[in-house]
Amino acid sequence: MSHTSFYALTMLTAGIGIPVLAALNAALGVRLGSPVAAAAILFVVALLATLAVLALSGPRAVMGAWAAPKHLFLAGTLVAFYVLTITFIAPKFGVGNAVFFVLLGQLISAAIIDHFGLFGAQVSPLSITRACGIGIMAAGVFVTQQV
């Protein structure tokens, strides 16, 4: 299996997990009567899982982590925002609706990040062809929301 195929399959698996995460955490939030408590539990479990992987990676992986530019830590705030909002909104709006709008936001954000090479990302200019592809994907997201 090529690196590209492995990366694509891994990210496809991660993508499959996002709606599952949303549904499970939304159900936990409803069961607990608190989306915030459900999100906190999710983060504790995620922290433990991440620490286990870090332990397997060796101590060099964490050395110097706190010396990184502080704006890079905003990612933690963004994941908290995602988990809190999906846990609160999915039971009221539907997992599909919530995830589809997240997907639309991801398409827009990814195109901007790639076009300008923001945060050290590989530059991939927004060509007409790429913009049309993103537009088709966005239209697909819209079509799926029609009853």
HEC letters along 68-132: CCHHHHHHHHHHHHHHHHHHHHHHHHCHHHHHHHHHHHHHHHHHHHHHHCHHHCCCCCCCHHHHH
Q: Whole-prediction pTM value?
A: 0.81
Rounded CA separation 82/42 (Å): 12
Q: SS3 for 125?
A: coil
Strands (E), the chain: none
What are the two backbone dihedrals, phi and then psi, of residue 145, each rounded to the nearest 5 degrees?
-90, -5
Beta carbons of 136 and 128 less than 8 angstroms apart: no
Asked whether the predicted pLDDT for residue 142 surpasses 90, the reply is: no
Mean pLDDT value of segment 76-80: 93
Across all residues in the chain, what is the average pLDDT? 89
pLDDT tens profile 79-132 = 999 999 999 999 999 888 888 889 888 988 999 999 999 988 999 999 999 899
For residue 3, what are its two tokens?
């690196």
Would you place residue 61 in the very low, low, confident or very high pLDDT band (cuts 50, 70, 90)?
Answer: low
